[in-house]
Structure 1
Amino acid sequence: MPSFSSRKPVISQCDSPDDRQEAARQAAAEPVPAPVVAAAVPGAPMFLDRDHSILGFNERVFDWAVRTDVPLLERLRYLCIVSSNLDEFFEVRAAAHLTAAKSGEGKGVYTEASFVALASKAHDLVARQYSLYNDSLVPEFARHGIRIVSHGERSAAQRSWVHEYFMREVRPLLIPVGLDPAHPFPQVANKSLNFIVRLHGHDAFGRKNEVAIVKVPRALPRLVRMPPRLAAKGESLFVSLSSIIRAHLDDLFPGREVTEFSQFRVTRHSDLALDEEDVRNLRTALRQGLQHRHYGQAVRLEVSAGCSQFLSRFLLEQFDLPEPALYRVHGPVNLVRLTQLVDLVNDPALLFPAWRSAWPRQLVPGVSIMEQLGKRDVLMHQPFESFDGLLAFLREAVNDPQVLVIKQTIYRTGADSELMDLLTEAVRRGKEVMAVVELKARFDEEANINWAEALESIGAQVVYGVVGLKTHAKMLLVTRREGRQLRRYGHLSTGNYNVRTARLYTDLSYLTADEDTTADMDGVFNHLASQNRPPKLRKLLLAPFHLQRRMIEKIEQVGLAASRGEDARIVAKMNALTDEALMRALIVAGQRGARIDLIVRGACMLAAQVPGVTDNIRVRSVIGRFLEHTRVFYFRAGSEEDLYLSSADWMNRNMMRRVELAWPVTEPRLRRQIVDECLVAYLHDDRDAWTLNPDGTYARAPHPEDGQGAQAALMVRYGPPVPVARVEQQGT
């Protein structure tokens, strides 16, 4: 393969990666606030705090909501994505900090100070979210004739319609609960919308129980479109569910006076914890655990900005939360549900131009895919190329009478999956189907349990991986009789078997009939089913057995080459970098002279460009229209070059607590494509790439509106040909 620096990038007319990154640092304007440095790592160089780094990633996503060159509905979508990400952050990462704060813990990773610092950063981001929504997005929507009409803004006719809607659709589903010893504070589900009300006067029994709770069912839509007859010409008017209920609280408490009220929403710790060694049936235990997930430890409380001290203190006491866990917001407490507005408006002028993934270039339509794989390996780059290529491969296998066995891992396939329907059809056609279903895929447990039960009910062999580990590897293996022999055809991927996310995430799919690779895949499937020791693998790297060690060996080889004065280069693209062993190896290699570029979308604990420590390590994060999800690892030590694709990020959980795969790409044609499209293009990105500074802050790209972005370039490469007339216009 040609040397890395000689590659012709997808993005043309660029300076060298080094020059472009230096320009990015110099031209960057306002840096994102710095992650806190973790100082308690004995004998280690500077590492950044993981949780602050996660919040920093959401700062970068939030920037897309701020950018005025982004279409209006897409800006709202990014704002809601940040809210959704924050929900998951609190559900998964906040409990340990909160528990430490309650106990007054002062030492270790989780302390009272760590809780206060995280809460401060989260409060700042939430405040900026609502400021952007109220001060920028709402006025901009109004200029386009799109308004969410508050009670005070409604005309008499609009109020009459809202009242009728409330009485017909909402009131029958609400159960106001007055609190007293016989009616204790009700169980409030995770992230549900609720109202707390303070009442004056006496109830039907002459008692002064002054606090009541109204739980709002999830089945009710959070936004409702008003009829066109109630809007001016060209206007689209909506009303929020919280506003509808707020305007009719008096109707819920006849004979009482509502003196104070607030909407509220509690976020709960939702990471399921099971002692897998102590359960007889993992599926049954998980299903039981799912019933309790909505009522875990409270970690965050959101209320209206105008919520009184009396009501907020009352709620904090009920949920056993300290003051920093209270978030007063100027708008709906469930901001993420505003994604419904994107669907209700659905104006193409306010959205990104529709992207239609192309049929994979390396697959000839109408020709047997397995026949094509007999001649060469095939790479598919999603979402620029369509997931339909993979579905076509599986569909061909299902319909081929010579195919005897289909084996597949299932991690996040979704509740409605054509792929799972194909596996079901394969069983019905008499093929042996083995599905390794990961029941513990966070927040996809229920869908995976349902698929496991459905497949088992028709005779498929379903296994749940290995006790204590998550099966995160993505592989599909087809065994076909060809004459007197059996031949295997395999698919490996950096991403999930999920049709929806395949349109939104960047991933690489790899189809092959290589004997060594497919034999390794079969060995891994047998290992997962039998739990015997894995066989000696010829090409695949398997976590938790070999992957981390082999990556460290590759890093060390590059470092040794650098110390000998040879070419030494590492370029690695991943979603997160938090594994200490890998970070230490990178630091040593960099100090020996290796040039290291890391493209890390999310959390990165390795501080870059720290004088005397990580001078030769540069880190950038690309946030674009699609969610970056590919994992690509390139190593050059002298004349030796290695390129791997993987399902794993460089995190300790991926290396030691999951079943993961990495595989080498050896075909020159595919190696060039991967280096060009997934590494070089991203190192030359001066539009969507953020650069990590020595102090842990991120500097935004120098040209966020008119620069050259890797994703945009790939859309041009894979999109329809540009009309000649348009090219001439651009050239004038």
Structure 2
Amino acid sequence: MTETADVPAVPTPDEFDAPELFINRELSLLEFNDRVLAQAQDESVPLLERLKFLCISSTNLDEFFEVRVAGLKQKAELLDTPGEADNRTPSDVLRAISERAHTLVDNQYATLNNEIIPALEAEGIRFLRRAEWNPKQRAWLAEYFEEELLPVISPIGLDPAHPFPRILNKSLNFIVSLDGTDAFGRKIRHAVVQAPRALPRIIQLPQAETDSGSHDFVFLSSIIHAHVEDLFPSMRAQGCYQFRVTRNSDLYVDEEEVDDLLRAVEGELPGRRYGDCVRLEVAHNCPVELSDYLLARFLLTREDLYQVNGPVNVNRLMSLQSTVDRPDLKYPAFTPRLPNALAPSGDLFAEIRAGDVLLHHPFDSFLPVIDFVRRAGSDPKVLAIKQTLYRTGPKSAVVDALVEAARAGKEVTVVVELRARFDEADNIELANRLQAAGAHVVYGVVGYKTHAKMTLIVRREADGLHNYVHVGTGNYHPKTARLYTDYGLMSCDPALGNDVHEIFLQLTSLGKVSGLERIVDAPFRLHDAIIAKIAREADAAAAGRPAWIVAKMNSLVEPGVIRALYAASVAGVQIDLIVRGICCLRPGIAGVSDNIRVRSIVGRFLEHTRVFHFAGGGEPELYLSSADWMDRNFFRRVEICFPVTSPAVYDRVQRELGLYLADNSGAWLLGEDGRYTRALPAADEPVVSVQKRLMEGPG
């Protein structure tokens, strides 16, 4: 620590390494799922949207177990020593996760049974239990069982010749206890019934079998329960209980040892369905001896057992969003804005030449981004198109445009990230499709995921070649562009265009970047740059100059950045963090983080923008980025962080950041203890919802 006569001492980040200063990342992620669940409990949210949030919280928890819990179990088995800044061992974290996740699951089912289902029933949307079936419905469902289920179901009575079957990840299954003898005179105690994967998990009864105007549904599990004895003639089913197993779904590919990454990933995908077991869900009324029997089969402990009062896979209820035509129970329809200058009939390239164009999705339409690539494909002046693809969906208008451009003879180069988790199969398919059309396809860099979002179009104009770029915070995915908030910047700034060109050269040739003027890239410079910018704010505060950091991101995890933020807070920097999901920093600690405030916005759209503002002692800087402040983004991914240099764009982003900081409708405030409380307006304060405000017009 250095001191001068004029400037007070500025603490160094190394002073803030105590484990109690850090929130465990896994527990923080569970807190985010709790905030999502709170949307399902919020009566001001339309009913079918509440059901959707409940399903999202369930899906999020599935992925949490498939990836995060699975990884912790592996670490605990190999070397159970502290590996994170909070100094907990993997076993310690697993115990804490089990306690918190059990509470979360209990709350999910309480919300479903005590709030959502009764509210749906009041609206004529009913889930009929077996005891509620009238004779007409019972007859229809018996026919459904005979014609749809029985021909494809394969019950397995367990004996030495019929061992316990392989259970597919997250599939619906039943453990059945039997009494009696089979056709060969042997006593069979247990059987397993696997629900056919091809059949829907929720069956809607025909209108003729329901009350007028109502929507009646029956769970597939109820039909199997009702007819389980038909599957075991001459035996009596003493009990039938649904269960589901969650498995480790992370792929492992030794990239240094394979010749063809696409084929290696493709070969690993089938094994994902049968990874090591990490969680067992069973019906709440399943006897202890049966749940223990299943735990032993899957090599799990009672900490891994989740007994649920309802369907073992809540997210199957998401199908009601498309099945039930009740606009009054959903969010009002919203059409993203399309500025006249960016309409298909306008001159998009001329508009970009006139000045940088900012799009804030989903409030602004994603169509100009698709049109950017589509027009380039048919423009005789365009020579080349280059693009990164991380997640884009199996049927993508962006990929369609790239295919057409390649077929039209343009030089099309696409960097496809094959290892985008759970999108690997889709990305393999689109990579093959692009190659068949004549595009140059590469798969990023061995050991690093390509997470940068950028498109480069090289166009020959009267005064020479010009680079037009699109750089953004989110994926080239038309569907999620309507569901996630993301910034995209279109520009023909020569320096920015040259930087994008250099990064594409590096991704394809693997050579060193000669020096970037605008973009700060990972894994090379971004971490050091962020640390330096935070330190500059601390120096400015110590010198009495303007010092303020506003950073919006999805996750804040990396210990070095957190320590730098603590040091800046002690130096007097005011710090506002808008962190949607994981936040390992503890705000409000006396003498450490008094000047740090952390909020999370949860609403209709998933907050996904990454925006970093530094007051800079009177020389402010504003950046947009593809990267969160996480270890993986700084050190194990190819990322970009780029400055906003247009005054008009700068002012707009600043105004919108102000709205996020003023939100008292969808905002949650993080406390020192790692728990969140909802931000509520004061009695004389207007209600501010940033997402509703941005739906009305740009900030």
Q: Same fold (TM over 0.5)?
A: yes
Contact 1:97/1:110, CA 8 A, preserved across alignment: no
Contact 1:106/1:113, CA 8 A, preserved across alignment: no
The within-5 A match list for 1:435-514 is: 435-483=414-462, 485-514=464-493
Distance across 2 between alignment mates of 1:340 and 1:578: 34
* Change in CA separation of 1:508 and 1:477 when aligned onto 2, cut-off 3 Å: same
* Change in CA separation of 1:389 and 1:233 when aligned onto 2, cut-off 3 Å: same
Contact 2:519/2:640, CA 8 A, preserved across alignment: yes
**Residue from 500, 506, 519 that aligns with 1:521:** 500
Q: CA deviation at 1:136?
A: 1.2
SS at match of 1:572: strand
Contact 1:363/1:378, CA 8 A, preserved across alignment: no
Contact 1:360/1:380, CA 8 A, preserved across alignment: no
Task: Tell me the alpha carbon deviations over residues 298-324 of structure 1, each in whole angstroms, 9 at most, x when there is no partner.
Answer: 000001001111211111011000001
**Residue from 698, 706, 717 that aligns with 2:697:** 717
- In structure 2, what is the equivalent of residue 537 of structure 1? 516
Amino acid at match of 2:280: L
Q: CA deviation at 1:704?
A: 11
SS at match of 2:697: helix
- In structure 1, what is the equivalent of residue 44 of structure 2? 69
* Change in CA separation of 1:528 and 1:104 when aligned onto 2, cut-off 3 Å: closer
Q: Which structure has the higher relative contact order (CA within 8 Å, separation 6+)?
A: 1
Distance across 2 between alignment mates of 1:378 and 1:518: 14
Amino acid at match of 1:701: A
Contact 2:340/2:346, CA 8 A, preserved across alignment: no
Q: CA deviation at 1:342?
A: 2.1
Distance across 1 between alignment mates of 2:105 and 2:342: 46
* Change in CA separation of 1:244 and 1:53 when aligned onto 2, cut-off 3 Å: same
Contact 1:178/1:213, CA 8 A, preserved across alignment: yes
The within-5 A match list for 1:579-590 is: 579-590=558-569
- In structure 2, what is the equivalent of residue 242 of structure 1? 221
**Residue from 672, 675, 681 that aligns with 1:694:** 672
Amino acid at match of 1:378: V
Q: CA deviation at 1:44?
A: 5.8
Amino acid at match of 2:502: G
Q: Which runs of 5+ in 2 are unaligned?
A: 1-15
Distance across 2 between alignment mates of 1:416 and 1:599: 33
Distance across 1 between alignment mates of 2:63 and 2:90: 21
Distance across 2 between alignment mates of 1:356 and 1:234: 29
Q: CA deviation at 1:218?
A: 2.2
Distance across 2 between alignment mates of 1:104 and 1:258: 45
Contact 1:621/1:689, CA 8 A, preserved across alignment: yes
**Residue from 685, 688, 693 that aligns with 1:708:** 688
- In structure 2, what is the equivalent of residue 167 of structure 1? 146
Distance across 2 between alignment mates of 1:106 and 1:670: 47
Distance across 1 between alignment mates of 2:81 and 2:113: 39
- In structure 1, what is the equivalent of residue 662 of structure 2? 684
Contact 1:368/1:396, CA 8 A, preserved across alignment: no
Amino acid at match of 1:698: Y
Distance across 2 between alignment mates of 1:273 and 1:99: 13
The within-5 A match list for 1:204-603 is: 204-360=183-339, 363=342, 366-483=345-462, 485-603=464-582
Contact 1:358/1:718, CA 8 A, preserved across alignment: no
Distance across 2 between alignment mates of 1:211 and 1:703: 57
Contact 1:96/1:110, CA 8 A, preserved across alignment: no
Q: CA deviation at 1:451?
A: 0.7
Distance across 1 between alignment mates of 2:249 and 2:548: 41
Distance across 2 between alignment mates of 1:104 and 1:630: 36
Contact 1:577/1:650, CA 8 A, preserved across alignment: yes
Task: Tell me the alpha carbon deviations over residues 239-277 of structure 1, each in whole angstroms, 9 at most, x when there is no partner.
Answer: 111111111111111111111221110001111121111
- In structure 2, what is the equivalent of residue 141 of structure 1? 120
Q: CA deviation at 1:545?
A: 0.4
Q: CA deviation at 1:454?
A: 1.2
**Residue from 60, 76, 84 that aligns with 1:85:** 60
Amino acid at match of 2:226: A
Task: Tell me the alpha carbon deviations over residues 339-373 of structure 1, each in whole angstroms, 9 at most, x when there is no partner.
Answer: 01222113001111011111146636522111111
Contact 1:200/1:258, CA 8 A, preserved across alignment: yes
Task: Tell me the alpha carbon deviations over residues 458-503 of structure 1, each in whole angstroms, 9 at most, x when there is no partner.
Answer: 2211001100000000001111111362111100010000000000
Q: CA deviation at 1:377?
A: 0.8
- Greater displacement, 201-210 / 313-322: 201-210
* Change in CA separation of 1:42 and 1:541 when aligned onto 2, cut-off 3 Å: closer
* Change in CA separation of 1:480 and 1:107 when aligned onto 2, cut-off 3 Å: closer
- Greater displacement, 233-242 / 618-627: 233-242
Amino acid at match of 1:205: F
Q: CA deviation at 1:209?
A: 2.7
Distance across 2 between alignment mates of 1:198 and 1:75: 37
SS at match of 2:552: strand
* Change in CA separation of 1:106 and 1:510 when aligned onto 2, cut-off 3 Å: closer
Equivalenced residues, count? 678
Amino acid at match of 2:674: G
Contact 1:384/1:715, CA 8 A, preserved across alignment: yes
- In structure 1, what is the equivalent of residue 649 of structure 2? 670
Identity %: 48
SS at match of 2:281: strand
- In structure 2, what is the equivalent of residue 121 of structure 1? 100
Distance across 1 between alignment mates of 2:31 and 2:667: 14
SS at match of 2:460: strand
- In structure 2, what is the equivalent of residue 54 of structure 1? 29
Q: CA deviation at 1:139?
A: 1.1
Amino acid at match of 2:313: N
SS at match of 2:620: strand
- Greater displacement, 547-556 / 211-220: 211-220
Distance across 2 between alignment mates of 1:119 and 1:577: 23
Amino acid at match of 2:253: L
Task: Tell me the alpha carbon deviations over residues 163-212 of structure 1, each in whole angstroms, 9 at most, x when there is no partner.
Answer: 11111111111111111222211111111111111111112222223211
* Change in CA separation of 1:96 and 1:481 when aligned onto 2, cut-off 3 Å: closer
SS at match of 1:577: coil
* Change in CA separation of 1:522 and 1:444 when aligned onto 2, cut-off 3 Å: same
Distance across 1 between alignment mates of 2:514 and 2:669: 42
SS at match of 1:48: coil
* Change in CA separation of 1:69 and 1:422 when aligned onto 2, cut-off 3 Å: same
- In structure 1, what is the equivalent of residue 69 of structure 2? 94
Q: CA deviation at 1:74?
A: 0.6
TM-score scaled by structure 2?
A: 0.95
SS at match of 2:150: helix
Task: Tell me the alpha carbon deviations over residues 687-728 of structure 1, each in whole angstroms, 9 at most, x when there is no partner.
Answer: 111111122221111149982111111112259xxxxxxxxx
* Change in CA separation of 1:46 and 1:402 when aligned onto 2, cut-off 3 Å: same
* Change in CA separation of 1:46 and 1:714 when aligned onto 2, cut-off 3 Å: same
Amino acid at match of 2:643: P
* Change in CA separation of 1:103 and 1:272 when aligned onto 2, cut-off 3 Å: closer
Q: CA deviation at 1:99?
A: 4.6
Task: Tell me the alpha carbon deviations over residues 220-249 of structure 1, each in whole angstroms, 9 at most, x when there is no partner.
Answer: 111111111221222111111111111111
- In structure 2, what is the equivalent of residue 5 of structure 1? none
* Change in CA separation of 1:703 and 1:348 when aligned onto 2, cut-off 3 Å: farther
Contact 1:687/1:704, CA 8 A, preserved across alignment: no
- In structure 2, what is the equivalent of residue 24 of structure 1? none
Distance across 2 between alignment mates of 1:707 and 1:358: 24
Distance across 2 between alignment mates of 1:333 and 1:419: 37
